[in-house]
Amino acid sequence: MQPLILYSHRAGPNPKKVRMILEELSICYQVKVLEFPEMKKPPFLSINPNGRVPAIVDPNTDVTLWESGAIIEYLVDMYDKDRKISFTPFSPEYYQAKQWLHFQMSGQGPYFGQAVWFKVHHPEFIQSCYDRYVNEIRRVAGVMNSVLEKRAYLVGEKCSYADLSFVIWFQFVPWITDNKLDLEREYPYLNTWLNSMRGRPAIRDVLGGETALPETARKE
């Protein structure tokens, strides 16, 4: 098997989300780290015309994909034959895992990212805009906390790609909220789950003592 190529960035959260899946499934891959100017011009635009990462090229199947959710679905469909982090096709859990991945893509990632934008990157600080997205972080955390109060994982009785997809953005919550959102106190079941996720070898390998903020947060 030839290694997959993962196009990444040194501080972006979404490539790390894909790396967690690759590591969990022990898929051979290599990382090509791009800086922002490289993403916005050829040859990378021939891989992702949207000019963002992650993107993957799988030389074993001649598949090129971008958008982290689509990449995750591809990886589990193609390489998780033993259903280590996925579920039997057409089972209830199969669709529930997709449900959570879609919630991460539509609910967690965009709102957490917009909180970062209005915290540091918008030309002027607008408190009401920042507050709106911090409140969305609380909403997403509340949804997950209510589910994790009743079970150890989001779907079924095992860690799945549904769980893994949420981890990386929660790493930035203390910074985004200036430590004003206390996951341990306000969302204890979510916090217990998150600590469990961080303890997985694949997650530890990807995080690796990660302290870098999303590149969108880097503003001198």
Tens digits of per-residue pLDDT, 94-117? Answer: 999 999 999 999 999 999 999 999
Give the pTM. Answer: 0.92
Using alpha carbons, select from 76, 74, 36, 78 the residue that is nearest to residue 53: 36
- Is residue 34 a contact partner of residue 44, using CB atoms and an 8 Å limit? yes
Task: Report how far residue 50's alpha carbon sits from residue 52's, in angstroms, rounded to the nearest whole number.
Answer: 6
User: In this predicted model, what pLDDT tens digit does every residue of 21-55 receive, in sequence order?
Assistant: 999 999 999 999 999 999 999 999 999 999 999 99
Is 70 exceeded by the pLDDT of residue 220? no
- Is residue 61 a contact partner of residue 27, using CB atoms and an 8 Å limit? no
- The length of the chain in residues reads 220
Q: Is the peptide bond before 89 cis (omega within 30 degrees of 0)?
A: no
Task: Report how far residue 217's alpha carbon sits from residue 220's, in angstroms, rounded to the nearest whole number.
Answer: 9
71 Cβ contact list (under 8 Å, min separation 6)? 18, 21, 54, 55, 56, 65
| Fold of the 92-200 domain | Glutathione S-transferase Yfyf (Class Pi); Chain A, domain 2 (1.20.1050)
- Is residue 5 a contact partner of residue 47, using CB atoms and an 8 Å limit? no
CATH assignment of 4-79, given 3.40.50.2300, 3.30.43.10, 3.40.30.10, 2.60.200.30? 3.40.30.10
